[in-house]
Amino acid sequence: QVQLVESGGGLVQPGGSLRLSCVASGSILSINDMGWYRQAPGKERELVARITTSGRTVYADSVWGRFTISRDNAKNTVYLQMNSLKPEDTAVYYCNADLLPRSGVRRTYWGQGTQVTVSS
């Protein structure tokens, strides 16, 4: 059984930093793209950043220059370094991964989410 587990969320003051981590575990043959999404109250889930196996990245305009996505393929882990946080970054952050489990059906998996709150 495949699981994605996020960690690193919490309460931070405006201008502060947080680092999110997401580990994919279970019977996994390969992982393609991994990414971070977020959903604020009353809003739709939106892309924050994505990264390919080779390290190519895509960012939402709203986080460009403040957030950095990275991954450790050996550890099946994706990270999101968030700097210069703003109150509008407050949301539940979800990681996802496009992966092939040993069961043989490639699909996208989601984590359970981690709360990030930016407030003074």
Q: Kindly state the DSSP code that residue 53 receives in the 8-state scheme.
A: T
- On average, the pLDDT of the chain sits at 97
Q: In this predicted structure, what is the pLDDT of residue 104?
A: 83
Is residue 89 packed enough to be buried (19+ CB in 10 Å), middle (13-18) or exposed (0-12)? buried
pLDDT at res. 1? 87
Give residue-wise pLDDT tens across range 30-41: 999 999 999 999
- pLDDT higher than threshold 90 for residue 14: yes
Give the pLDDT band (50/70/90) at residue 70: very high
Q: Choose among 28, 29, 33, 30: nearest CA to 1.
A: 28
Residue 29 · residue 97 · CB < 8 Å: no
Task: Give residue-wise pLDDT tens across range 40-54.
Answer: 999 999 999 999 999
CA 8 centroid distance within chain:
11
How much is the pLDDT for 103? 84
